[in-house]
C-alpha cells in the first residue's frame, strides 16, 4: 500500500486531502502542530487503521519511520487573520518547514507537492494571472510574511528539483471554500456566512468592487490530485476562473441564507488585492482539469455545515 504524508493535515484543505487519499486506497500520515489546524477535522478518521496522526512542528527536526511515497506540504497559517497574528510562525513554516519537508522527501525518495498560493501574485498588475506572471508583492507589507514565505517555498522546491533531481509539483491555489473552514479566520465566505446566520450586518471592505474567484473544495481536490499524478514540475494555477465582486458574493449569501441584511462598508485593508482571477489554461491543457461546481451551488452545499457550526459556537458561548 502506498503512503502519503500530509503536513497541515488537520487544516481545512489538509483534512479534505486526508479523506480523499483514504478513499483512493492510500495509507495516510497526517502531520500537524494544531497551531491553526482543528482536531475535529480529522476526528472521524482516528479509528481508521490506514490513518495515522502525528502532532509535530515541521519547522523543527522531522523523523518519520517507514515508507513514504508522496508528501503534500500544506502546513502554514493561510488566512489574513492567521498570518497577521502569527507572522514569525508563517515565515518559519514557509522557509524552515519547507526545507525540512523537502529533506524528508529527498530521504524517502518521495514525490513532493507544495501548496503555494495565488498570493505569490500580490496585488496583480496583470489580469487574469498566468503562471508566467512574477507578481506585484510588497515584501515589507503586513501580508508580505505570507506572500514571501510562499515565494521562497517555490524557489527552494525548484532548487531541490534542479539540484537533487527531486520529483516535485507546485500548486498555486486560489481562493477555495467549503466545509471545515474556521468561522473566525478572516476569510470572506466564513465571515459572511457567520454574520448572515446570526442576523448581523455583512462587513464589506471598500465599495465591495474588488473581485475574487472562488473554487469549491471538491473541485480543488480533483485538481490537486491530477497535478500530483501528472509529470508537471513547474507551477500550475488551481482555481475557478469565474470572477465575482465581494459585494456580489455578499448578496448571493444573503439569498442562500434567506436574509436581507444590511451591508456595512469598512476601509480596505493594506495591500488588499483589487482583483484575483486565475488563468487556468495550463491546468486545462496539462491536467485536463476544469472546475465543475459554480459558486451558488457550492455555497448551497456548504451552507448546512456553516449553520451547524455557528449554532455550536453560540451554544459554547452561552454555556
Residues serving a catalytic function are 146
Residue 24 φ/ψ, nearest 5 degrees: -80, -5
Cell of 62: 522531522
DSSP for 75-127, written as a single string: -S--SHHHHHH-HHHHHHIIIIIHHHHHHHHHHHT-EEEEEEEGGGGBS-SSS
Question: Which of 247, 246, 253 has the alpha carbon at shortest distance from 213?
Answer: 246
Which residue, chain included where needed, has cell 497559517? Answer: 77
Residue 26 sits at the vertex; the CA angle it makes with 25 and 29, to the nearest 5 degrees, is 145
Distances (CA, A) of 254 to 243, 249, 259, 260: 18, 9, 5, 6
Amino acid at each position: 500500500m502506498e503512503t502519503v504524508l500530509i503536513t497541515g493535515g488537520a487544516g481545512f484543505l489538509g483534512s479534505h486531502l486526508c479523506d480523499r487519499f483514504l478513499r483512493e486506497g492510500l495509507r495516510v500520515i497526517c502531520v500537524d502542530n494544531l497551531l491553526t489546524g482543528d482536531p475535529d477535522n480529522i476526528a472521524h478518521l482516528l479509528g481508521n487503521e490506514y490513518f495515522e496522526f502525528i502532532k509535530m512542528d515541521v519547522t523543527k527536526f522531522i523523523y518519520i519511520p517507514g515508507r513514504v511515497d508522496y508528501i503534500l506540504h500544506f502546513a502554514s497559517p493561510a488566512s489574513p487573520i492567521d498570518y497577521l497574528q502569527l507572522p514569525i510562525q508563517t515565515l518559519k513554516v514557509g522557509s524552515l518547514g519547507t526545507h525540512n519537508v523537502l529533506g524528508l522527501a529527498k530521504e524517502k525518495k518521495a514525490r513532493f507537492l507544495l501548496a503555494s498560493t495565488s498570493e505569490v501574485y500580490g496585488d496583480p498588475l496583470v489580469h487574469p494571472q498566468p503562471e508566467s506572471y512574477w507578481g506585484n508583492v510588497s515584501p515589507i507589507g503586513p501580508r508580505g510574511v505570507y506572500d514571501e514565505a510562499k515565494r521562497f517555498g517555490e524557489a527552494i522546491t525548484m532548487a531541490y528539483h534542479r539540484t537533487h533531481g527531486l520529483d516535485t509539483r507546485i500548486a498555486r491555489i486560489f481562493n477555495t471554500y467549503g466545509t471545515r473552514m474556521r468561522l473566525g479566520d478572516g476569510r470572506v465566505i466564513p465571515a459572511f456566512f457567520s454574520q448572515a446566520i446570526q442576523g448581523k450586518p455583512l462587513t464589506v471592505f471598500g465599495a465591495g468592487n474588488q473581485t475574487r474567484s472562488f473554487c469549491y473544495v471538491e473541485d480543488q481536490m480533483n485538481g490537486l490530485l491530477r497535478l500530483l499524478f501528472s509529470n508537471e514540475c513547474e507551477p500550475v494555477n488551481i482555481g475557478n476562473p469565474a470572477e465575482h465582486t465581494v459585494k456580489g458574493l455578499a448578496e448571493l449569501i444573503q439569498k442562500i441564507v434567506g436574509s436581507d441584511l444590511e451591508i456595512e462598508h469598512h476601509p480596505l485593508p493594506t495591500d488588499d488585492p483589487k482583483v484575483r482571477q486565475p488563468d487556468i489554461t495550463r491546468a486545462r491543457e496539462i491536467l485536463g482539469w476544469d472546475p465543475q461546481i459554480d459558486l451558488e451551488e457550492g455555497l448551497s452545499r456548504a451552507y448546512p455545515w456553516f449553520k451547524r457550526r455557528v449554532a455550536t459556537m453560540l451554544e459554547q458561548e452561552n454555556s
